[in-house]
Structure 1
Amino acid sequence: MGFELHSFDAPGAHQESIVRKYMRAMFQSGDLDSSGFSFFAFAANLPTNCSNSQWAELVRRIERCVDADILDAPVEHRCFKPNEQDYSLFKGELFRPKGMPAMGPDTAAQAESVRKIMCIGDITPDYNRCAACTKPNATSRCGKCKVVKYCSRDCQAKHWKSGHKKCCQKAVENCTLRSVLNGGNDWLHITANECEAIAKGLRSIQQSDPLARKFFHYFDAVSNLGGCFVG
């Protein structure tokens, strides 16, 4: 069993440049096809993966090139990746990420296929919308899971009664980045700032290290997408 990483936010049209840069790097290195994930996954998330042995090697590199102050700093609340099937209210047109733009002549057909799939397939939640009424830019976060947001107390109460109560998981307190990286398939959140620090560290060795180069591009991208979940 290997490790998978998924961005926190679903890339939309306003983040086109982030996805373009990442996909270009992955195509050039050959990792987009060989690493085991499909282009179609970009319709809902920004994913990558590796084997257990590769992940162990990557963690050793990260521990060498990222400051211990960052690796061992506790994060007050570290949330779990939600089971998106349980968050049934995060479905519908208002949560649908916009179609991925064509990346060029080689990917235009794939991008069009993604748009078609997105019209009928599963949708990754937009965590910045109210989980109950779908209004954008919700500011009040669930105090237990630290993932879903609401625009009012009424909406939070409605969502709790309608199903969130059954699937809400308490966020882990005072959990360090080092413990997340070494902890296994827990689907815990790595923050955007931590992803930025990892990318900065891997940047210094990525020219001569294919594994570091692949994940440098990934962490560099997801640092602009709310961080990522590792599992």
Structure 2
Amino acid sequence: MNLSSNTKSNQAEVVYVVDDDEAVRDSLTWLLESNGYVVRCHASAERFLQSLQSTDKSTISCAILDVRMSGMSGLELQERLISENLPMPVAFITGHGDVSMAVSTMKRGAVDFIEKPFKENDLCALVDRMFAKARVDYSQASQRKVTQSLLSKLTGRERQVLERIVAGRLNKQIADDLGISIKTVEAHRANIMEKLNVNTVADLLRLALSDPQPN
């Protein structure tokens, strides 16, 4: 039995199973729960999407989707997750004839696909890989929020100075660019360092460049 690392974590971790075949849902639930995972099942893509509206956004999760379902298909669900900015790692359950279709889902960002009938070890290894990706994604998203919160403290002028620091401009060049004195540039630099809680220019650049939003 594979004791999943999520049983040791304080952070909630959930595997969603979305399949319109009750027997498949029951089989996956039994296999995953017996290996220590927390599982939530849904009989349709529509019900799954509805459930996410009331789900804690800090929940680290991944999803196992059936490629072919009545109503919204697994591929359409994958597109919805992407378009609605719900980028949890997903993998697909496929029949033998759906392999080429499953490959196309990987081009859209799916972690992998697993063919029926699947082996327990292969299934658990796949879920572990998805959780590993989900943890990294969650950590990066959290760091981006912290960075954006810090950058929001800067005044408009401080942002202009920061942009030029990131571009490699010297104090004199920044002063000329903005029509201010070198001492004023130095004062802005000091304020920027304090507000962003960094001690070196290297740390300042690392933080500024990690922000995906324009300064």
Please indicate the TM-score interval, normalised by the length of the shorter structure: under 0.3
Q: TM-score, normalised by structure 1?
A: 0.22
Q: TM-score, normalised by structure 2?
A: 0.23
Greater helix proportion: 2
More relative contact order, 1 or 2 (CA 8 Å, 6+ apart): 1
The structure with the largest alpha-carbon Rg is 2
